[in-house]
C-alpha cells in the first residue's frame, strides 16, 4: 500500500473555471445533438442525407455507421494496452492503463449510441434485437461480442484495476471519500488481496485478448461477407478492421495521455518511455495497415472486374479522390514521423501527438471510404452513379455523441484519479 | 406447396413501364420507391444504337443475402419461395438494403402518408372525397399473410421500415397473379408455380433459353429472364425513373 496522500491527486474533486467552461461547452453540443435527434425522430430520416441505394441514387448507411465503426475501432486501445501490461509484463506502462481502459469503455458507449440514430425504429431496435436475435446475422456479433461482452469485460477490468487507487483515495478526507470507500469495497492491499486481484486480472486479460480479435472481426464481417457490394466483399476486411482499430485506438490514447500529462504536469508519472512505446506500437500498426491498403488497391485495380474497377477509379481519381489521398497522407506522414523517431532514437512528444491526431483523421476518412463509395458507386445493376453528403442533422448528432464522450471523461477525472497511482511493480 | 417464380420475356417488353404504374396503384408505395423498376438501356453511338428494356422486381432469391443478414428475422424466406418483410418487426437498420446486389429495397424515409402522390389530408380534397378512406389505408388489403400470419404486405406503410416487392403476396394468396403480370400489355411478365412443369412460366422456360441476373453472386434468383441477354459493359441507362422534383 502506498504512503498516505495529503490531498486527492490529479485535480480530483477540484472544479476550476476552465473546467466548468469546457463542461458547459460540451453540454451545449450535447443539447444541440439531442435536439437534432429529436427533429429526426419527428420528421423521419428524410432530413438526413441518406437515401436508398439504386434507383434513388443514394447511400443508405452514412455518417452514423461511419462513427459507429470508428468508435468500436477506438475502443481497441484500452484493452490491448491493459492486456499487454498484464501478459507481457511491461510494468512501466501501468500509469497509462486507466486512461486507455476509460477510452475503451467510453468509446463502446458512444458506439452503442451511434446505432440508435441510424435505426428507423429505435424503440423496436432495443426490444427486437434481443427478442428475435439471429446468430446468422453478422450484426449479432456486434451486439453480443462488442456491445455486451467486450463492454462488460472492459468495465470489470477497469474496476478491478482501480480498486487499490480507490483504497488510497478513501483515506483522504474529502467530499468524495464515501464514494471512494464504496469503490474500494473493502480493499486494503493485504498480500492475499493483491494476489487475488493479480490472478483475476491475469485471467481476465487472457480472456479479453481473443475477444478483442473476434469482436473487431465480427464488425469487419458486417461488411466483408456481403457479396453484393464491390469493395466490401473481401477476406481482408476482418483483419483490416482489427489493425485499423489498433491504429486509431493507440493514436487516441497518445492524444488523451499527452493532454492529461500537460493538464496535470504529470511528466514523471507519464514519462517519455510510455510514449515511446506507444509510438513504436503505432508505427508497426500503421505499417501493417498501409500494407493492407496496397494489397486492396492492387487487387481492385489489377483484377479489372468492372465493378471493382469502377470503385477503385472513384477512390483513386474520382469523386472520393480527395478523401482517399487525405487518408493516405494522414497515414504516411505519421509513419515518417514515427520511423524517424525510432531510427534516430530521438523523441518529441509534439511530433508524436501530431502523428496520433493524423492517424485518427485517417481512420475516420477510411471508415467513410469503406461505408459510402460501395453504395453510391458500387451498384451491380446499371443504376448510374449516386451521391451522398451528410446534412447538418447528422453532423449535429455525431458531434453530440462526441461531446457526450468528452463529458464522460470530464466527470470521471473529477471523481477518480485518471492516472494510476500505484506502480506496476507493486 | 407451390414455389412461385417469375419469368420475364425481354423480347416482348417494350419498356412502357405499365408494370411500375400497376405496382404503384396496387401497393400504394410512397413517392420515389419503386418495388418494380424498368431499366431503359441504350448501347452504341449514333447512328448505330440499340435500345432495350429490363423490368427489375425483387428477385426473391433462394439464397437471399438480405434474409441472411437481417438481425431480427424480419426479412425471411417463405416456403412458397417468396422473400417477405415483416413490417411489424423490422427495426430499420437497412442491412438488407446494403446486402442486396440488385438494390431492390426501399426505406420509408418519412411518414408514408405525407409521402403519397396525393395529399389526402388536404382540406380541398377532403371536401371532395367526403373523408373516404384513402387507398393507401385500404382495410381489405391490411390483413396478416400466410400461415405465419405476419404483416408483410398491404396498403398502410410504416415509417422507418424497409420494404420491397412482395410478389403481391396478398393477391397470390387470394389465387390471383401479381399486379405487374396482370397489367403487362405485352404479356412479358409471367408469374406462377415454377415447381409445376405445366405452369405457364415453366412452359416458357422449357421453350426459350433463360438467364438470371448476377448469377455469379450465388443468390439463386427466382426471377428468370428469357429472350435477350444480360446487360454488359457498354449499356447505359437512359430515362431513369425517380422522385418528382
B33 touches B160 (CB < 8 A) = no
Residue B155 has pLDDT above 80, yes or no: no
Query: Is it true that the peptide bond before B47 is cis, omega within 30 degrees of 0?
Result: yes
Q: What is the CATH code of the structural domain delimited by B4-238?
A: 3.30.70.20
pLDDT at A198: 84
Domain count, chain A: 1
Q: Is residue A86 part of a domain?
A: no
Q: Name the residue with higher pLDDT: A325 or A206.
A: A325
CB contact under 8 A, A228 and B217: yes
Q: Is residue A205 part of a domain?
A: no
pLDDT at A62: 95
CB contact under 8 A, A124 and B89: yes
Q: Is residue A257 part of a domain?
A: yes
The pLDDT mean for chain B works out to 92
Average pLDDT estimate for B30-43: 93
Contacts of B94 in chain A (CB under 8 A): 60-61, 118, 120
Residues 159-218 in A contacting B (C-alpha not used; CB under 8 Å): none
Residue A387 has pLDDT above 80, yes or no: yes
pLDDT at A139: 87
State the ipTM, two decimals: 0.92
Interchain CB contact of B159 with A (< 8 Å)? yes
Contacts of B161 in chain A (CB under 8 A): 120-121
Residues 113-132 in B contacting A (C-alpha not used; CB under 8 Å): none
Query: Looking at beta carbons, which pairs linking A236-243 to residues 24 or more positions away fall under 8 Å?
Result: A236/A292, A236/A295, A236/A296, A239/A292, A240/A289, A240/A292, A240/A296, A241/A69, A241/A73, A241/A216, A241/A217, A242/A76, A242/A212, A242/A213, A242/A216, A242/A217, A243/A285, A243/A288, A243/A289, A243/A292
Residue A426 has pLDDT above 70, yes or no: no
Q: Is the dihedral of CA B20, B24, B27, B31 positive or negative?
A: positive
CB contact under 8 A, B102 and A228: yes
CB contact under 8 A, A139 and B214: no
Average pLDDT estimate for B143-163: 89
pLDDT at B245: 58
The secondary structure of residue B145, as a DSSP letter, is: B
Residue A1 has pLDDT above 50, yes or no: no
Which residue in B92, B217, B236 is closest to A120 by CB distance?
B92
pLDDT at A4: 63
Interchain CB contact of A18 with B (< 8 Å)? no
Which residue in B89, B159, B213 is closest to A132 by CB distance?
B89
**Hunting for cell 435477350 — which residue is that?**
B228
Report the residue of A53, A123, A129, A230 to disrupt the B interface, i.e. the one with the largest count of B CBs within 10 Å: A53
Interchain CB contact of A43 with B (< 8 Å)? yes
Q: Round to whole Å and give the CA distance between A86 and A205.
A: 7
Q: Round to whole Å and give the CA distance between A150 and A157.
A: 10
Q: Is residue A199 part of a domain?
A: no
The x, y and z cell numbers of residue B148, run together, are: 405465419
For the segment B224-243, what is each residue's pLDDT rounded down to a tens digit? 999 888 887 778 888 888 87
For the segment A125-145, what is each residue's pLDDT rounded down to a tens digit? 989 988 999 989 998 877 777
B156 min Cα distance to partner chain A (Å) = 16
Query: Looking at beta carbons, which pairs linking B141-146 to residues 24 or more positions away fall under 8 Å?
Result: B141/B170, B143/B170, B145/B84, B145/B169, B145/B170, B145/B173, B146/B78, B146/B80, B146/B84, B146/B173
Q: Name the residue with higher pLDDT: A359 or A304.
A: A359
Nearest CA in chain A to B67: A137
Residue span of the structural domain in which A276 resides: 228-371
Those residues with Cβ within 8 angstroms of residue A62's Cβ, 6 or more apart along the chain or in another chain = A48, A49, A50, A371, A372, A388, A390, A394
Confidence of residue A3 (pLDDT cuts 50, 70, 90): low
Interchain CB contact of B244 with A (< 8 Å)? no
Contacts of B217 in chain A (CB under 8 A): 227-228, 380
Which residue in B56, B65, B94 is closest to A381 by CB distance?
B56
A371 min Cα distance to partner chain B (Å) = 10
Interchain CB contact of A129 with B (< 8 Å)? yes
Contacts of A308 in chain B (CB under 8 A): none
pLDDT at A51: 95
Residue A423 has pLDDT above 60, yes or no: no
The x, y and z cell numbers of residue A257, run together, are: 495521455
A260: closest CA among A29, A102, A131?
A: A102
Instruction: Kindly give the pairing relationship between strand B37-43 and strand B236-238.
Output: antiparallel
A279 min Cα distance to partner chain B (Å) = 37
Report the residue of B33, B41, B73, B107 to disrupt the A interface, i.e. the one with the largest count of A CBs within 10 Å: B107
Q: Is residue A214 part of a domain?
A: no
Which residue in B68, B103, B219 is closest to A54 by CB distance?
B103
pLDDT at A87: 82
**DSSP code string of A54-90:** STT---SS-HHHHHHHHHHHHTHHHHHHHHHHHHH--
Interchain CB contact of A275 with B (< 8 Å)? no
Instruction: Kindly give the pairing relationship between strand B83-85 and strand B236-238.
Output: unpaired
Give the domain ranges of chain B. Answer: 4-238
Residue A330 has pLDDT above 90, yes or no: yes
Confidence of residue A424 (pLDDT cuts 50, 70, 90): very low
Element (H, E) at A99: helix A94-118
Confidence of residue A76 (pLDDT cuts 50, 70, 90): confident
Q: Is residue A354 part of a domain?
A: yes
**DSSP code string of A321-369:** HHHHHHHHHHHHHHHHHHHHHHHHT---HHHHHHHHHHHHHHHHHHHHH
For the segment A269-315, what is each residue's pLDDT rounded down to a tens digit? 888 999 999 999 999 999 999 999 999 888 888 877 888 889 999 99
CB contact under 8 A, A306 and B65: no
Q: Round to whole Å and give the CA distance between A323 and A199.
A: 47
For the segment A212-233, what is each residue's pLDDT rounded down to a tens digit? 888 888 889 999 999 989 999 9
Average pLDDT estimate for A12-18: 86
Interchain CB contact of B197 with A (< 8 Å)? no
Residues 54-93 in B contacting A (C-alpha not used; CB under 8 Å): 56, 65, 68-74, 89-93
For the segment B94-141, what is each residue's pLDDT rounded down to a tens digit? 999 999 999 999 999 999 888 888 888 888 888 888 878 888 887 777
Average pLDDT estimate for A260-270: 87
Which residue in B71, B97, B108 is closest to A60 by CB distance?
B97
Exposure of A96 in the CB half-sphere (CA atoms within 13 A): 34
Which residue in A55, A122, A134 is closest to B71 by CB distance?
A134
The x, y and z cell numbers of residue B195, run together, are: 415447381
Q: Is residue A233 part of a domain?
A: yes
Amino acid at each position: 500500500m502506498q504512503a498516505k496522500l495529503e490531498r486527492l491527486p490529479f485535480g480530483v474533486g477540484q472544479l476550476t473555471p476552465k473546467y466548468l467552461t469546457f463542461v458547459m461547452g460540451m453540454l451545449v453540443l450535447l443539447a444541440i445533438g439531442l435536439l437534432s435527434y429529436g427533429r429526426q425522430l419527428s420528421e423521419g430520416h428524410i432530413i438526413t442525407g441518406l437515401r436508398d441505394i439504386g434507383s434513388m441514387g443514394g447511400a443508405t448507411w452514412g455518417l452514423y455507421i461511419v462513427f459507429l465503426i470508428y468508435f468500436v475501432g477506438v475502443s481497441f486501445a484500452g484493452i490491448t494496452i491493459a492486456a499487454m501490461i498484464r501478459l507481457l509484463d511491461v510494468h512501466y506502462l501501468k500509469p497509462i492503463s486507466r486512461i486507455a481502459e476509460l477510452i475503451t469503455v467510453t468509446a463502446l458507449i458512444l458506439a452503442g449510441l451511434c446505432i440508435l440514430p441510424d435505426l428507423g425504429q429505435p424503440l423496436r431496435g432495443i426490444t427486437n434485437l434481443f427478442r428475435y436475435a439471429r446468430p446468422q446475422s453478422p450484426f449479432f456479433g456486434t451486439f453480443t461480442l462488442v456491445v455486451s461482452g467486450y463492454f462488460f469485460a472492459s468495465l470489470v477490468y477497469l474496476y478491478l484495476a482501480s480498486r487499490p487507487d480507490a483504497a488510497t483515495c478513501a483515506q483522504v478526507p474529502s467530499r468524495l471519500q464515501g464514494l471512494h470507500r464504496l469503490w474500494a469495497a473493502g480493499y486494503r492491499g493485504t498480500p492475499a488481496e493483491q494476489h487475488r486481484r493479480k490472478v483475476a486480472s491475469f485471467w481476465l486479460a487472457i480472456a479479453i485478448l481473443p475477444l478483442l480479435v473476434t469482436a473487431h472481426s465480427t464488425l469487419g464481417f458486417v461488411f466483408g461477407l456481403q457479396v453484393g457490394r464491390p469493395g466490401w466483399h473481401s477476406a481482408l476486411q476482418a483483419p483490416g478492421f482489427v489493425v485499423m482499430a489498433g491504429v486509431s485506438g493507440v493514436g487516441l490514447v497518445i492524444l488523451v495521455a499527452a493532454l492529461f500529462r500537460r493538464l496535470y504536469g504529470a511528466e514523471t508519472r507519464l514519462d517519455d518511455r510510455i510514449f515511446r512505446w506507444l509510438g513504436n506500437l503505432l508505427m508497426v500498426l500503421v505499417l501493417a495497415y498501409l500494407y493492407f491498403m496496397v494489397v486492396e488497391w492492387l487487387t481492385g485495380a489489377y483484377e479489372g472486374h468492372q465493378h471493382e474497377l469502377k470503385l477503385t477509379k472513384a477512390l483513386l481519381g474520382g469523386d472520393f479522390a480527395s478523401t482517399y489521398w487525405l487518408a493516405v497522407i494522414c497515414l504516411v506522414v505519421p509513419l515518417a514521423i514515427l520511423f524517424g523517431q525510432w531510427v534516430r532514437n530521438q523523441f518529441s512528444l509534439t511530433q508524436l501527438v501530431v502523428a496520433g491526431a493524423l492517424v485518427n483523421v485517417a481512420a475516420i476518412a477510411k471508415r467513410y471510404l469503406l461505408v459510402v463509395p460501395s453504395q453510391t458507386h458500387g451498384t451491380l445493376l446499371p443504376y448510374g452513379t449516386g451521391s451522398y453528403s451528410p446534412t447538418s442533422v447528422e453532423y449535429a448528432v455525431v458531434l453530440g455523441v462526441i461531446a457526450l464522450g468528452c463529458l464522460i471523461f470530464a466527470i470521471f477525472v473529477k471523481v477518480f484519479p485518471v492516472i494510476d497511482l500505484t506502480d506496476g511493480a507493486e | 406447396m407451390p414455389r412461385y417464380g417469375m419469368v420475364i420475356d425481354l423480347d416482348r417488353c417494350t419498356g412502357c413501364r405499365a408494370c411500375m404504374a400497376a405496382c404503384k396503384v396496387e401497393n400504394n408505395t410512397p413517392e420515389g420507391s419503386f418495388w418494380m423498376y424498368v431499366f431503359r438501356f441504350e448501347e452504341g453511338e449514333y447512328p448505330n444504337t440499340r435500345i432495350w428494356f429490363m423490368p427489375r422486381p425483387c428477385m426473391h432469391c433462394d439464397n437471399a443475402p438480405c434474409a441472411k443478414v437481417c438481425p431480427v428475422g424480419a426479412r425471411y424466406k417463405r416456403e412458397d419461395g417468396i422473400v417477405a418483410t415483416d413490417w411489424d418487426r423490422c427495426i430499420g437498420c437497412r442491412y438488407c438494403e446494403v446486402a442486396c446486389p440488385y438494390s431492390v429495397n426501399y426505406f420509408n424515409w418519412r411518414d408514408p402518408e405525407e409521402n403519397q402522390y396525393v395529399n389526402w389530408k388536404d382540406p380541398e380534397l377532403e371536401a371532395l372525397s367526403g373523408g373516404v378512406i384513402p387507398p393507401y389505408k385500404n382495410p381489405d388489403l391490411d390483413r396478416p399473410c400466410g400461415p405465419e400470419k405476419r404483416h408483410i404486405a398491404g396498403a398502410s406503410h410504416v415509417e422507418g421500415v424497409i420494404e420491397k416487392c412482395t410478389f403481391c403476396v396478398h393477391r397470390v394468396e387470394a389465387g390471383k397473379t401479381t399486379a405487374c403480370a396482370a397489367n403487362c400489355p405485352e404479356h412479358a411478365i409471367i408469374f406462377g408455380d415454377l415447381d409445376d412443369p405445366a405452369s405457364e412460366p415453366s412452359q416458357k422456360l422449357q421453350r426459350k433459353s433463360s438467364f438470371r441476373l448476377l448469377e455469379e453472386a450465388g443468390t439463386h434468383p427466382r426471377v428468370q429472364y428469357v429472350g435477350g441477354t444480360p446487360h454488359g459493359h457498354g449499356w447505359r441507362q437512359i430515362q431513369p425513373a425517380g422522385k418528382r422534383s
